[in-house]
Amino acid sequence: MHITLAPMEGVVDHLMRDMLTQVGGFDLCVTEFVRIVDQLMPKRVFHRICPELNNQGFTPNGVPVKVQLLGQHADWLAENAFRAVELGSHGIDLNFGCPAKTVNKSKGGAILLREPETIYNIVSAVRQAVPKEHTVSAKMRLGFDDTSLAISNAQAIADAGANSLVIHARTKVDGYKPPAYWDWIAKIKQHVDIPIIANGEIWNEQDAVNCQQQSDCENIMLGRGALAMPNLAQVIKNTELAMPWEQVKALLVRYSGYELFGDKGKYYPNRVKQWLGYLSRQYPEAEALFMGIRALKSADEILQQIQS
């Protein structure tokens, strides 16, 4: 089984990738998206989103990282894709799943699921631009308003030369509301001949088993579930027990060190509260800790509460 750590805008940055890959179980990471409009982005933009490029595209623990691009203009996406792999990205991922209104309004992310031909043109241009030794993948939802174009979109991605496809088993309109329709992935899989990775609503080992059975996919991608249970990949892959709360607290302290002494320290209070929100799904102690720090704005005060 191959497990990928999902790209989550504003959540799974290089610090979180470092931490979760150290916990283990992940075989690949995908970055937050680089938004492409009408220019070749400066190299510093790729390094900011993916500092692992300074380490030959690997996390400190040796897990390869793939840069994700988002946009609507095939030629510009192709140029930027070539730059990303030139800088050390382990292939390219294309975002056809982001549900954010601001992204969709500018014709990026999930809105493109209304236009299979545009999706084909984008994937085809990127595949032609990127040397064959680098994989090109895409991530899509089941559709924008409904699932009527799900198979057409997947076929467009496959026919355009993508090496693999991640399917988040919900439409844009579904957002993140349960359930995820894993059986739809199995339907799509019957119509395309590239590897498919299942994604959506995997919170524990049983969810992973159910997802694999219903989607007919061995390989999965974990997002929010990995934030709620930091060793979820190991639980699924190696039947570990869920990480005890004391170990989770130690991770929170380590994460505090990353954030406070890194380049994102000013975001620390919001980031740690956000993570506690995910952790509270699996750990009652996380909810209690969140209630204790939710009004705090000082990083030092928050860290004191975590360590107490």
Q: Which of 29, 50, 98, 211 is catalytic?
A: 98
What is the sign of the dihedral through the CA atoms of 48, 104, 98 and 113?
negative
User: Which residue type occupies 176?
Assistant: Y
Residue 178: cis peptide before it, omega within 30 degrees of 0: no
Give, as one character, the DSSP assignment of residue 266.
G
On whether the CB atoms of residues 77 and 36 are closer than 8 A, the answer is yes
Structure tokens at 60: 């400190």
User: Which residue type occupies 88?
Assistant: G
- 67 three-state secondary structure: strand
In sequence order, which residues have a C-beta less than 8 Å from that of residue 77 and are 6 or more positions away? 36, 69, 71, 94, 122, 125, 126
Let me know if 200 is exposed, middle or buried by CB neighbors in 10 A (0-12, 13-18, 19+). buried
Active site residue 98: yes
Let me know if 29 is exposed, middle or buried by CB neighbors in 10 A (0-12, 13-18, 19+). buried
In sequence order, which residues have a C-beta less than 8 Å from that of residue 259 and are 6 or more positions away? 15, 265, 267, 268, 271, 272, 299
Catalytic residues: 98
